[in-house]
Amino acid sequence: MSAPATPRTVQAEILDHLAPDDPEAQRSRRDLRRVNRLMGACSILSARLRPAASGTRGTAPLHAPLRLLELGAGDGELMLRVARALALHGRHSQVWQTVELRLLDRQALVRSETLEAYARLGWRAQPLVCDVRDWAAAPVNGARYDVIVANLFLHHFAAGALSAVLAGAAARCERFLACEPRRSASALLGSHLLGAIGANHVTRHDAVLSVRAGFRDRELSDHWPARGWQVEERAAGLFSHVFVAWRDRADAL
């Protein structure tokens, strides 16, 4: 179901302005895990990451240790679920058994228990606490990544900042994958119904804003640097919008 094409509006979300130890923020981040389950985020991401490692379409597979960066990673719990799904799948492939993961977020939210859980899978995870706009604007002489991932993150940015963040990512990776709220009638309805799962007022407020700031059509492709890349953008499930980009020489996610 698609809503009439309402324009994208980006407004400040409450969670972004609460301290990490604020009880309302902690509750909202727990809600976020359930929201990600409802949106099928783990399945959407892992289904698109899997083929990148095994080398589909006759192109060369990626090699361990795979360098992975998540932008706006929050507490790192979603990527941990993705890591478990990929490690399980990866019993026949070494690529998902040895991963160098950076979890970028403006707030220091990743618990040591989460890092230990990654380590048990063979993933060396490290938080990278910075504003993504500073990261994107920095000279491109530092780390490069095989894959950069974002989940429920890009919708925070209005057009100018979004272009800058995506240009920064494109300069540093071979493949890019984003799963964002879809600006659709079904997603808007779902966001208004989050009280039914016991979500707190922060989550309920931010979910509606997130859908209004979400994406449809080719809105992310239009902000991605065109030259040398192939892109694909589409609805995923009832509530999500997925964007993938890969360098011309690389295989698709």
Ligand X SMILES: C[S@@+](CC[C@H](N)C(=O)[O-])C[C@H]1O[C@@H](n2cnc3c(N)ncnc32)[C@H](O)[C@@H]1O
Give me the residues that bind ligand X (CB under 6 A), please: 16, 32, 36, 72-74, 78, 105-107, 131-133, 151-153, 156
Beta carbon nearer to ligand X, 105 or 219 = 105
What separation in angstroms does the CA of 38 have from each of 15, 191, 201?
Answer: 19, 11, 18
| CB closest to ligand X, residue no | 74
Shortest Å, Cβ 76 to ligand X: 8
Beta carbon nearer to ligand X, 114 or 184 = 114
Shortest Å, Cβ 30 to ligand X: 11
Q: How many CB atoms lie within 10 A of CB 182?
A: 27
Residue 87 has φ and ψ, to the nearest 5°, of -65, -35
Beta carbon nearer to ligand X, 178 or 235 = 178
Beta carbon nearer to ligand X, 81 or 247 = 81
Residue 189 has φ and ψ, to the nearest 5°, of -60, -50
Could you give the CA distance from residue 243 to residue 165 in angstroms, rounded to a whole number?
Answer: 14
Beta carbon nearer to ligand X, 71 or 253 = 71
Beta carbon nearer to ligand X, 73 or 148 = 73
**92 neighbors 85 (Cβ within 8 angstroms):** no
Could you give the CA distance from residue 244 to residue 131 in angstroms, rounded to a whole number?
Answer: 23
Shortest Å, Cβ 150 to ligand X: 7
Could you give the CA distance from residue 215 to residue 126 in angstroms, rounded to a whole number?
Answer: 29
Shortest Å, Cβ 210 to ligand X: 7
Shortest Å, Cβ 21 to ligand X: 13
Could you give the CA distance from residue 65 to residue 146 in angstroms, rounded to a whole number?
Answer: 10
Shortest Å, Cβ 77 to ligand X: 7
DSSP 132: H
Sign (positive or negative) of CA dihedral 160, 161, 167, 170 = negative
